[in-house]
Structure 1
């Protein structure tokens, strides 16, 4: 059954609040409230997919350890009955090891797209796309071809 506009707006607000609690505040226990036990996060980049809420919590901890001031800024969210599409920006200062890269002290500001599939009001799957090349350039460990 289709959700009303009010229900959809409430869902967007709840999921945005959850993302901010988890990523901005580091409240990984909030994941238990809204993620399915068989949650999968699909990442087309070099990172392996994440399976389960505990693995997702560990990914949050790893990123927040590498970027202690890590924050997300939600630009826009679009939702329907079971899908939630969010455009956001991640930012932070690289003060800890990240993907084998020693701390650079550089700041990042990178666009990200997240598509979440909900099942029984819980996040069952997420597809994540981020501009990893831009992140590596901002960290000073890569350059665009015309800058080499």
Structure 2
């Protein structure tokens, strides 16, 4: 069981480094189950694999070309991996309707990912993106 937990944690680390930080679509396809469900997707948004990659590669990455993921902690049990991390970068592009500010953006995130057969099958998460967007609104 311990090796499986370590394997699952490494899958989540790889996803964060290769997919979120670097935008690698091939690795995304390798690590994402076709039946994936993002339980934290906004109401009305695509909560499947396409919605997940769209968030990173078409919303976040164009806004922060220097996007960096820093993993602080991981806790795993069975097929679940919880990760406390930060996504940061400089807002050099539009972010969800907010014009580029040149400001550093820092989004704290706690994710829970369920891994099945080496792939992401479910996701739950909370983040501080709404707080970041409210600060961008004040700059506007």
TM-score, scaled relative to structure 1 = 0.81
In structure 1, what is the equivalent of residue 132 of structure 2? Answer: 135
Structure 1, gaps ≥5 residues long: 144-148
- How many residues end up aligned between the 2 structures? 138
What aligned pairs does 1:1-148 form with structure 2 within 5 A after superposition? Answer: 3=1, 5-43=2-40, 48-62=44-58, 63-139=60-136, 141-142=137-138
Higher relative CO (Cα under 8 Å, sequence separation at least 6) belongs to: 2
SS at 2:88 equivalent: strand
Q: Is this contact kept in 2: 1:66–1:96, CA < 8 A?
A: yes
Provide closer, same or farther for how the CA distance between residues 18 and 88 of structure 1 changes in structure 2, counting only shifts above 3 A: same
User: Over alpha carbons, which structure has the higher Rg?
Assistant: 1
Unpaired segments of 5 or more residues in structure 2? none
CA distance in 2, matches of 1:73, 1:47: 28
Higher mean displacement: 53-62 or 97-106: 53-62
CA-based RMSD of the aligned residues comes to: 2.1
TM-score between the two structures when normalised by the length of structure 2: 0.85
Instruction: Provide runs of 4+ in structure 1 moved above 6 Å.
Output: none
State the distance in 1 between where 2:44 and 2:63 align. 18
